[in-house]
Each structure stands twice: as structure tokens, then as C-alpha cells.
Structure 1
Amino acid sequence: MQGIIHLWSLDATEPHELTTETLGQAQILGCGSVLHLLRTLSWVRTKQNRIAESSTKLWLVSRNAVGLERMQAQSPDSSRQDSSTRDSLAIAQAPLWGLGKVIALEHAELWGGMIDNPEVADVLVEIGAAIVSGEKEDQVAYRDGQRYVARLVKSDPLAFDGTSLSTENSYLITGGLGTLGLKVARWMIDQGVRYLVLTGRGVPSIEAQRRLDQLEEAGATIMVANADVSDGARMTRLFQEIEEKMPSLRGVIHAAGVLDKEILTKQDWGRFRRAIAAKVEGSWHLHTLTRAMPLDFFVCFSSTASLLGGLRLGSDAAAFMDTLAHLRHFMGLPGSSIDWTMWADDGMSLPSQEDGKFEDNDWGGSDKLAEYTMAPGIGLRILGTLMRKADTAADAVQVVVLPKDLSYLQGFYGDRIPPPLLSELYRSESVQPSGSSDFMEELEKIPVEKKRDHLATHIQSQLNRVLGFAPSQTMDLQKGFFDLGMDSLMAVEIKNRLQTSLGCKLPTTLAFKYSTPSLLIDYIATQILALESPEGIVTESKRAANEPEEILNKVKRLSEEDLEALIDEKVRF
């Protein structure tokens, strides 16, 4: 079988008829069916023990799921744009594009691409180009017969000219009881805001309450609401409470979310849906409840995972928020989505958990985190600029925040060519397995009975580096990688690191298929390097130790004539 074309998302409800219920149904139809399909394909490949590149590719087809502002025309006339497409941006299909980027990262061997709004002939052309010419474009959209591809380009820095926050109005921050939400709240108070509504799914922690007390001591009036943003009825009541108890609402910052570190093939639909509910359904509730309000800004805290993939970062849900910001802009409403890189301090990443609690190993150690993080001051300045521009500027609808130096991506892509999306910003240094490396030369000099232990130490060291721990730190060899703090991008990085140090090709699904240190060590030792097992080494040693005694017994059984003949033969030789 050459490929699978997924068309179910085309049956999603039209945007003007969308409700919370039909939005949920669309996620089952789109992401739910793809998740089931992916798990089935992965199971089949595992049963067949196939680690090579697959000839079966998965293609996802959508209709008007992306705005053309994010695409680049590949035709002489790039000025035309279908206004009917703008007005009917199919936001219910947007999470499918985020999910596709996760599949591209976690299961590159199965990935074909995503095509938006194609004719039948366009689909066949795209698939044919991928098969015949090795075309690598995996994010393509068609409008009025023109082909567009996705590119991330550098923009001029947005000028920071202060914020226009009001002292007389109130502002809502979802996820406001988490570390990041409280940081934003503190900044807004410093900018002169006096009325804030902060939501969370539980009561404030001791630390959160301490910070809330500090905000009130600074002269602010804080309404704390126990509210799950994905619960439409609860959010309706909350807005009624705001109307009754607080000054008029003039701005929304949606920072609530739930992160799930499990890989796609280990998730069922219930778990997947819970992880995206706050971002997908929550964003939709906020949109419908504020649609008639004269807001100054409506800002969604999205993630670079929306573009780069990475389930743990909420790629599918982030894609929904990005598209919602474009939809609001088309409707003449304020709307911005910020695809954040991770923020420094407090072990937080974007988007934030509602309870604000992250374990130390959630993102590895501090050394690993430092490669990605952004100083809070920089993030808050960007936020302030976008809040001021949110009601008018087209360039503020979706903004991606990445480190200036993207060389860290080399660890994720290794010898693989980065997605075309990044071709304007980053080019990978080609790293092909050389067949020889310093480590392999070192391993050759190790006695056979010690090779496996030496390999195990090397693999643990590489795992520690990727996870951000000290190279010599011990780890539970039976514990799953994703319980140790690994995410999708780290899984790609460990595959690339080991591939380079071992000088041989490794499967893209390495960390997913061999998901504990013990399984990984055993696979590389036996299947890749063909090292003797400990049992084999012991047996060989015993056999070698017994050889002199066996030879002596044979000699004793020889007659004197046979022994003399044997000695004469050896001497002549």
C-alpha cells in the first residue's frame, strides 16, 4: 500500500453553524480518527518488525483550515486572495494541522503531508510529486488554482511604545493562578491596571495566594474564580459575575492549558481530548462570550509547537488558537495568538498548566531548559506591544517568538532535512552516519566481556545530556523515557546523537519503540552492534577455560605412534 488519504475532516460543520457541540464532534471526526489510524499503523509496523522507511504515507486533506497569511504563493500572481475563503475559515479543522506536525516529528516514516482546499487532481499531483521526485513540501494550500506553501520568515521587531491599559476597566487572565499567569498579572498591575479577574481550575496554592496578597497590597482589586475554561456553562456564569461585580471587561489573555507528555501512539481519545479541551473548547467559549464586547485585545498564549510540532507542547490545540486569532481578525474583532518559545524562571513553559505546577524533570534540568528559554522581561515587552496593536494591526494576528540563534534545532533534526517551513530561517548542517566514530573506535579496544557495559554507560550519558541531567547521573533503566521527562523533540535528538556517535543509521521511532533505557540498550547492543550478550560471553569464557583440559584428554587417548606422527607433521609445517 503506497498511502492513505484522510478526508473525514471535510465533513466538519461549516464555521457559521459551529457550536461547542459540533466543535467537539469535529475533533472526533478529524483528530480522533487520525489518532486511531496512526495507532493502528504503528501497531502493524511493530508486529511486522519493520524499522525501515515506510512506503505507506499518510496524507491529511482539509478545506479552508489555514489562513493564507501563513502561506507563500508559488505562482506569478501572488496578490489574489479568495475572500470567500477568508470569511469561511474552517476553524474546526485547524487542530488537524497541529496534529499533522506532531506526526511528522514522531513518525516521519509514515508522514506524507497536509493539503488544504485541493481539487482531486491537486491531491494526486502532490502525492505523485512526493513519490516520483521526492518533493518535501508537506504543508500546501490551494486557492483559486494557485498553490501556496508554508514558510516562516523573520520580521522586523515590533516597536514598543508602551501599553494602553486602563485603570478603570477590568481584564481577564485564564490560567491566572499559575506561575506564568501571576507573572503577567503582576506586570499588568505595574502598568496601572487596578481590576483583574484570574481563573484556575482549583483553589490557589500557598505560593499563589502569597502573590495574590501582594497584588492586592499594591492597590489592585482581584476576583479569583474557580473555573474550568473548557466548561461552557461555568464560563457563562463567570461572565455574568464579572458584569455584576467588576468594571466593564476590556481585554482577555487566555493562558490556561493542560500539557500531556505522552506520545501519540500511547494515547486514547479520552486522554487526547482532555489535553486539548482548555485550548480548543476554552478558546471557543471565550470567543463567543466576548464577540459582542468592545475589547481592546484578545490574546491567546499559543506555542511554537503549533509550527514545529511536539505533542507535549500542545501542537494541535495551539493550531486552533492561531486560526481563531485569524478568524477574529477577518471578523473585525481584536485577536492575537503568540507562538511562544519557553519562558525562563520557575520551570515554566508555554502554554502554561492551569495549576502552575511542574516537576523538575518536566523539561529536563536547568541546563537543557537554558537552550530554549526566554527572559520574562522580553516576553512581557512583546506581550505589551501586541496588546496595543491587537485591534488593528494585521502583523500582530499571529506572532512567533523564537531564539535568534536556531542552531539548537540541529539536535532535533540531525541528519534529516528540516521541514521546508524553516528553510528561510535555518539550514541544517548535513550529518550523515560516517560508519566510524571516536566512540566506536574506543569500543573496539574494550575487551569483549566489557563492551556491553561500556555501551550502556555511553547511552545513559547521551540520555542524561538530552534530558538536561549530569552526564554521570544514574537513572532507573526500567523507567519510561517520557516518565523521565523526555518529549517528542528530545526523542528525535537522542536518536540523532546516538546515530552520530555510533556511526550507523537508526530508525526515527527509536525512543518511541524502545521506550526505556534497558530496551534501548538491548536493542542497540544486539540488533545494531551485534555485541555478545552477557550469557554468551560467560558461556564462551567457560568453553575457553575448558579447552586445555579437552586437548589434554585427546592427547592421552593417542597411541605413541600417532603422537609421534602428529608432532612430526607440526614440526615440518
Structure 2
Amino acid sequence: VRFADMVTALHAQGATRWLELGPDAVLTALAQQITDEDGQVFVPAMRRSRPQTETFLTALATLWTNGTDVHWPTLFTAWNAQPDPDVPTYPFQRERFWPAEAEAAPADRAGCYTASWRSVPDTAAALSGTWLVAVADGGDDRERAWTERIVRAMTENGATVHELVVPDDDGPVALPDTGRLAGVLSLAALRDREQPPGGGVPAGLAANLRLAKALQNTDAPLWCATSEAVAVTAADRIGSPLAAQTWGLGRVAALELGSRWGGLVDLPAEPDDRSSTRLCAALAGAEDQVAVRAAGLFARRMARAAAPAPRPWRPAPGTVLITGGTGGLGARVARALAAEGAEHLLLLSRRGADAPGAAGLAGELRDLGAEVSLVACDVADREALARVIDEIPAGRPLRTVVHLAGITDDGVLDKLTPERLARVLAAKADGARHLDELTRERCGELADFVLFSSLAGFLGNAGQAGYAAANAYLDALAERRRADGLPGLSVAWGPWSGAGLAGAGDGHRPAGGLTALDPDGALDALGGLLGDGRRGTVAVADVDWPAFAPHFTAIRPSPLVSGLADGPVAAPDGRPDGPSLAKRFAEAAGAQDRLDLVRETVWAEAAAVLGHASTDRVIGDRGFQELGFDSLAAVNLRNRLIVLTGLRLPATVLFDHPTPEALAEHVMRELSGEDPDTDSAAAPADGARDVADDEIDALDLQGLLELARNTEGLAR
């Protein structure tokens, strides 16, 4: 009972390592208070509410690493373990520089998600300040009627409104000199009801892309309105799948632009005053994906859906047409269908039988019992695709369509061009539209019409605006086929392991919290969806929401995913929030302390973007390009700094200040409100200016190399 005396006596005799044998760590805590000095080790053998085996092994390991002999053979005899004399006696210090392929998630861990719509209040809300209402050049009577009603409603609700006509060309958009803008509402996508003659990028989508670029040096949030681009209820028919491309682009804009993005609003088919007033309520509200309907305002949510039991996909007798059929993903799907009894596999690709590995793939499929046809066809060419469909043997009628064709051309919005956007839309969106139209016109009843979409379009993925726009079109097309009573299922896949659909889209690494799906398990999940009669759009992904949500909401909150995380969502990487950083900056003792604080912040955020465990690799005079930053990483760092500092940093801030030191000095001046022209102490030396020029040249060279690779691909 004389515990303190006993511990003191043992300590006087040289005891330095203490093991508590009991149900918790009560005595350990008491002993630490009695002998509070360096060199003492206190270890409990058990802890209340903690796994006993793990706690006991930790105790033994702690004692052993602090000099206590442990007879390990006694412990491990029952486990048939053998000692390894070659294991180093120092702690491992391992850092991986090359990305490892993510462990594939089994099918039963994947979550079958849908888009749901919840009613939100549509009471009149006051607007203020100066707004721009942007319209595409040459609008029809319907567009002019919508514009007239919306401008009147916004004015009646307190806004000063100026109209801006976006010219129908590829030049920059000239913003009028109206002073500071409270917001910009684009009605350009009301134009996107029919595909323009000759294909290409829809006029409204192109105008919205150009508007986003024109506003990059302002803090005015951009809202984009569409009409009949989304389905709020099962009875809601999508009249403008083309306009859904603006929704895909907008979901990415929210992740890249932060506070410079306002949101998306879908309007009914015909203009009316009540809908225009509700639009004003949406512009003043907290939701950023909203539909205006006769019944009120509705906000989009990502919701869990009931998942059918996974099972193999058994295709209907007849012909199965697979676009992108000789690629990695197409080959995997073809093998799975052949193994389940597909009679005739019609594999389309741009090179057909000349595609690498096509002959070997055809041999495998024939060995599995399927008849195989390899056909060279660009599905963006409607006439060529029509000829292929017309030549399908009458004895093997077309019963199943699987659309896998697609390309990516990733890049941030500020670098995206209509030409790059057109390339991505052609294979994915134009091909899907042609398949929809031609099978309606020329084929009998289909059993399955399956579109492989992506989370990039359903949820958003920074750097993939073009890919998201194309996949959002696929989702809308499937919803319209469902409303028309036709088979149609668009699956917005999360990342797959192996070839195809890597990350949230081809060639993209999975984001934090997303685990790649096992391809065989994913196809079984698809079989379950089709067997369950599922139509429309469903997202399938393995998402660890507490890990994913902080990254997804790093630069702006997202009502879309509210309620999916099973617990409180912490900021990623343990970063301080904006107010605490601003407070620390204001309380710093002097200019050097403030600069050190900003340096540490810039280094920490740069290291986090690159995936480094510490800032050691970003400290110094190396430029961002040399450190491994690409355009998307540059935008991510800029957005993270905006969140932490509250500053308005342009999209080109890393190009203008292309080393961590130069960027830290710039952020320091901005936070201090100093005039950079008179701040000689913070001005870069001649050597630093040389580094900056070299980095800008290197980044420009990188862009030229990307252009060369793209040109080479087009030539092929």
C-alpha cells in the first residue's frame, strides 16, 4: 500500500523500466508522476477497451527496444515463426517515389450510388450588386424569352443586371467595364438542344468554357443555367442531353475554381415568371446543383442505393457490339461475355484487326466458343457506324450494345481549349449519341444498352473537365432512354485496377479515399445491375468517405456529398483552417517571423500536393516544375493556399512565382498588404529572377511537348 515509497526505493536502486501487470494503466500513470525524469520507460501490459494481444505485444516490443531481454521463442513457438538474422536492428525508413497499383476492392465492398433530389425552400431571396447575364450569340425566341424574364426577375429582386453576348467564335470573351461583379449567370447552354451540324463542341458548352477563363482574374462566381438537362423524378424526361455536358464541366469547375464557381441550375422547357423567380432564390442560396421545377426547387444529392447480388453477366442470344473492343477494358469485357456464352462479338475500334493484340484476342474469344468480328470503325463517324450496324447478319441480330470507346485529354479549365474538348467529346459523347439514334432507327428490340461512364462526370474530378462533360452526357442519355421505355444503363465507375478506367478516368490515379475495383468483381456487379432490371444512371465505387470527403471539399463545401461520411470530416493532412492561419500571421512578432510562417505553409502545402511525408524535398531554390508540379498540381496548390489565406490568387500564380521561395514571398506581400514595387527587402535577387525565367521557359516547353504528343496521336 506504500506505493510511492516502493517506487522511490526501486528508482533509487537503479530501476528504469517499469511494467504494469494489471487490467489498465492506472499505476503506470502514478509511477510516471513519482519518477518524472528522462530515461524512464513505463509500459502497461493491458489497457481497458483495447485489444489485449496488440497491447501486450506492444508492451514487449517497447521493453525490448529499450534494453530488456525478451525470450521471443517462448512467445512465437505456437505460431511456428522463425527468426530472421538479416533483419536490420534499426527502424525502417522507407519512402516510395513511384505509385503502386492500388489494392483492388472486392465486389461486395463497392457501393451501387444514385443521384437523388431533395426539396429546398424557394422563398424569394434578395440579390445585390452588379450581375452579368451572359447569352450565346444569335439566340432563338425561346432563349430570348428566358433571358427577358430572368433579367426582369433578378432586377426586381435587387440586382443591377448587364447583359453580355458571347460571340460565336474561339476568341477571348471581353467583359464589360461594370465595376466589381457580384456574380455572373450564363444562359448560354440554353442553346444546347440539338447537336450542331458537323459535330464539334456545342455552342453553349464552348461559351461557358470561355466565360470561366475570362473570369479567372475576378472573384465573381459563375453560375451556368441549362434547360431539361437533368431528371429530378422517374417521370422527368431529359430533353437536352447535350446541355448535361455543361453539368459535367461545372462539377469539375467547382473543384478547380473554388469560390469563383457559383453553381448549376436546370430550368424547365418553357419560360415562365415563377421559374425565373425561383432561379433568383437558387442564386442566393447555399446549394450549387439545383433544378427548378413546377413543384419547387430541388437540390442534387449523391445517395446510397440498394445493391443487387453480384452475378455474371449473361448476354442475350445474338450479336454483342462493343465499342473500344480491342482496348484493355474492351478485351476484358469481351472475354467475360464470351465465357458466359456470347454468340457473336462485334468488336469495334479505330484500327480493327490491325490493333495491337487484336488477332490474339480474337483467338482467345473463339476458343471460348464465340463468333468474333473485328471491324475498324470510328464511332464518331455516324455514316461509318450505320454501315457496320446494317451489315450485322440477320441470323445474329444486334441485341446488346456496350459503349466503351473514349479518350482523355486531361488538363485544368484554364488550359482547356475547344479543340481538346472536341476530341474527348467525339469518341465518348458523339459515339453514344450515334449508337442511340441508329439502334432506335434500324434495330429491333435490344436486351441491353450499356454505357461505361465515370465518377468524373457524376461527381467531378479536378483536371478532367472534358472527360466529365462527355460522361455526363452518357448519364443523361441513359436517363432519357429509361424515360422512353428503352433499355439503357450508364454506370459511373470509380477507378478499376489494371487497364482502363484507372482512377476516376483513364490515366488518372485514384484519389485519396477511392480504392480501385477488381475488374472481375466490377463486371459481376454490372451483371447484378442488369439482372435486376436497372436502368438510368448508377455510380459504382469503393469510397472511404471519411478519407475522401476532406479532399473533395478542400477548397469549397459540397452539399452533394453531405450525409455520406459516417462521422465527422476533418481537414486533410491536418492543415490549419483559414482563420487560425490569419490569426497566427497577425500575431507574429515581426516581418521575419511572418515570412517564416508563410514559408512553412507554402512548403507544407506543396509537399502535401506532391504526396511527400515531409517538406524536406520542397525546401530550397528548385522550381515547381523541377519538383514535379504539372498544371493540375499547380492549381491544387493555389486553391489550397486560397483556403488557408483567404487571398485572391490568380490561376497563374505558380507561373509568375515559380519557386516555393518566390511564392512564399509573394503570399507574404499579399497578406501584409504591401506594394510589391516598393518592397525592396522582399524583391528577388538577380539569381532568383534567372531561376524564375528558366522555370517559365521549362513550363512552356512542357506544354509544347504535350502538344507534340497530341499531334502525334492525331496523326496515328
Same fold (TM over 0.5): yes
**Under a length normalisation based on structure 2, what TM-score does the superposition of the two structures give?**
0.58
Is 1:317 the counterpart of 2:470? The answer is: yes
2:482 corresponds to which residue?
A: 329
Matches within 5 A, 1:261-272: 261-272=410-421
CA contact (8 A) 1:98 1:309 kept: yes
Change (3 A) 1:497 1:30: closer
1:345 corresponds to which residue?
A: 498
CA contact (8 A) 2:328 2:500 kept: no
2:552 corresponds to which residue?
A: 412
In 1, Cα distance between equivalents of 2:346 and 2:452? 17
In 2, Cα distance between equivalents of 1:251 and 1:473? 52
Is 1:374 the counterpart of 2:523? The answer is: no
1:111 corresponds to which residue?
A: 261
1:196 corresponds to which residue?
A: 345
If asked which structure has higher relative contact order (CA below 8 Å, sep 6+), I would say 1
Change (3 A) 1:473 1:169: farther
Instruction: Compute the displacement of 1:101 (Å).
Output: 1.4
Give the match's secondary structure for 1:301.
strand
Change (3 A) 1:165 1:516: same
Is 1:180 the counterpart of 2:333? The answer is: no
In 2, Cα distance between equivalents of 1:129 and 1:387? 36
In 2, Cα distance between equivalents of 1:319 and 1:414? 23
Instruction: Compute the displacement of 1:514 (Å).
Output: 3.5
1:35 corresponds to which residue?
A: 209
Tell me which amino acid in the other structure corresponds to 1:69: T
**Under a length normalisation based on structure 1, what TM-score does the superposition of the two structures give?**
0.72
Aligned-residue RMSD, C-alpha: 4.2
In 2, Cα distance between equivalents of 1:276 and 1:129? 29
Give the match's secondary structure for 2:247.
helix
Is 1:429 the counterpart of 2:429? The answer is: no
Is 1:303 the counterpart of 2:454? The answer is: yes
Instruction: Compute the displacement of 1:222 (Å).
Output: 1.9
1:462 corresponds to which residue?
A: 608
Give the match's secondary structure for 1:399.
strand
Change (3 A) 1:332 1:505: same
Instruction: Compute the displacement of 1:238 (Å).
Output: 1.4
CA contact (8 A) 1:175 1:200 kept: yes
| Bigger proportion of residues as helix | 1
In 2, Cα distance between equivalents of 1:125 and 1:148? 10
1:569 corresponds to which residue?
A: none
1:524 corresponds to which residue?
A: 663
Change (3 A) 1:480 1:124: farther
Unaligned runs of 5+ in 2: 1-180, 670-680, 689-716
Instruction: Compute the displacement of 1:276 (Å).
Output: 1.2
CA displacement, residues 232-289 of structure 1 (integer Å, 9 cap, x when unaligned): 1111121123237x72111011111111112222222222111111222111100011
2:6 corresponds to which residue?
A: none
Instruction: Compute the displacement of 1:129 (Å).
Output: 6.0
Give the match's secondary structure for 2:303.
coil
361, 381, 389: which one pairs with 1:231? 381
2:527 corresponds to which residue?
A: 384
CA displacement, residues 55-99 of structure 1 (integer Å, 9 cap, x when unaligned): x222222221111138xxxxxxxxxx6xxx52x622232212112
2:190 corresponds to which residue?
A: 10
Give the match's secondary structure for 1:435.
helix
CA contact (8 A) 1:462 1:471 kept: no
In 2, Cα distance between equivalents of 1:143 and 1:128? 13
In 1, Cα distance between equivalents of 2:658 and 2:629? 14
In 2, Cα distance between equivalents of 1:173 and 1:199? 6
Further displaced range: 227-236 or 344-353? 344-353
Tell me which amino acid in the other structure corresponds to 1:410: P
CA displacement, residues 457-501 of structure 1 (integer Å, 9 cap, x when unaligned): 7565334318x99995999846499x96665xx66754576679x
354, 357, 363: which one pairs with 1:213? 363
CA contact (8 A) 1:514 1:523 kept: no
CA displacement, residues 406-465 of structure 1 (integer Å, 9 cap, x when unaligned): 2223123226322x1111313643562332999xx9xx9x99999999888756533431
Change (3 A) 1:476 1:177: farther
1:100 corresponds to which residue?
A: 250
CA displacement, residues 96-146 of structure 1 (integer Å, 9 cap, x when unaligned): 211221222222232222222254454455445654xxx221111122242
Instruction: Compute the displacement of 1:30 (Å).
Output: 1.3
Change (3 A) 1:480 1:287: farther
Instruction: Compute the displacement of 1:205 (Å).
Output: 4.7
Change (3 A) 1:99 1:371: closer
In 2, Cα distance between equivalents of 1:141 and 1:451? 44
152, 155, 177: which one pairs with 2:302? 152
Tell me which amino acid in the other structure corresponds to 1:62: T
1:571 corresponds to which residue?
A: none
Among the aligned pairs, what percent are the same residue?
27
Give the match's secondary structure for 2:389.
helix
In 2, Cα distance between equivalents of 1:197 and 1:470? 53
Is 1:287 the counterpart of 2:426? The answer is: no
1:63 corresponds to which residue?
A: 227
Give the match's secondary structure for 1:151.
strand
CA contact (8 A) 2:192 2:202 kept: no
234, 243, 249: which one pairs with 2:398? 249
Tell me which amino acid in the other structure corresponds to 2:451: C
CA contact (8 A) 2:412 2:631 kept: no
Change (3 A) 1:257 1:527: same
CA displacement, residues 279-320 of structure 1 (integer Å, 9 cap, x when unaligned): 221111000111142111001111112232235271111111
CA displacement, residues 544-565 of structure 1 (integer Å, 9 cap, x when unaligned): xxxxxxxxxxxxxxxxxxxxxx
Unaligned runs of 5+ in 1: 71-80, 539-573
In 2, Cα distance between equivalents of 1:352 and 1:293? 33
